[in-house]
Amino acid sequence: MKAVAIALALLGTLIMLSPFAVVPPTKVLEEMGDREVLFAVWLSLATSLVSTALVLSLALPTAYSLSRGFAGSGLVEALLSAPNALPPVAVGALLLIFFSRTPIGQLVDSVIPIVFSVPGIIIAQASVTFPLALKPLRSAMRGLHEDVLLMARTLGCTNFCLFKKIILPSISNTLKSSSVLVFTRSLAEFGATVTLAGSIRFKTETLPIAIYLNMSSGNLEKMIALITLASFLGFALLSLSKRWES
């Protein structure tokens, strides 16, 4: 069993290093300073940070409600987890239809431009990653003893106090690992983003979209530089997440 894991890890390493057989590492390093590459990295980090904050601000109260249970909570959780069962491009298509063809969506888009814009990137990322935070947070909160929460309430603890003093400290590791997972997945999001926000250079060009655009135009050097940066960021963040999980 151990040999299989090591063999797969070695195979993965070979695949990750294979681009350097085509393009010299010095050329890849040179391309990393390109204006388009730096823009894609900056936009990906900025939108992923905002979408992660948005996801957590919504997932925490939702997970708590689901962990306590209520009539129809199973159906609510299934609906909120639906993006996990859909291809990201389908999620993006649904969002595009909502914001461009429905009265409510059009009203929102007229106030805050969503379609083919940076806010659209954030909405797409948040829609795809929300279930990734919801499930582990709900599971962690389900382990909280109801007696402890009830005692805190009888002592005058408000909902805010309950979250700050009891719930958040109890699920801190799960919250940290979920945050990193959501942020990492947001960095890698492509299908929903390209469908809702488009692939506009120097406007909605995140790391995955920049990789796609440069692959389409045959710019291997820049594409490999982008892949290298994305791989480094992903590996570093996932390693951090595993540390908190353990």
Residue 216 included in any domain: yes
pLDDT, tens only, 131-187: 999 999 998 888 777 777 777 777 777 777 777 778 888 888 889 989 999 999 999
Residue 19 included in any domain: no
pLDDT at 244: 64
pLDDT at 245: 60
Residue 224 included in any domain: yes
pTM of the model: 0.90
pLDDT at 128: 96
Distance CA 179, CA 130 (A): 11
The low-confidence residues of the chain, meaning pLDDT below 70, are: 244-246
pLDDT at 191: 94
Amino acid at 90: A
Based on the structure, what is the number of domains in the chain? 1
Radius of gyration of the chain (CA): 21
Residue 168 included in any domain: yes
CATH of the domain at 171: 1.10.3720.10
CA distances from 167 to 106, 146, 162 (A): 38, 11, 6
Distance CA 65, CA 138 (A): 8
Residue 166 included in any domain: yes
Q: For residue 89, give its domain range.
A: 25-245
pLDDT at 112: 94
Residue 15 included in any domain: no
Residue 14 included in any domain: no
pLDDT, tens only, 116-131: 999 999 999 999 999 9
Residue 111 included in any domain: yes
Measuring CA to CA, which residue among 108, 103, 127 is closest to residue 185?
127
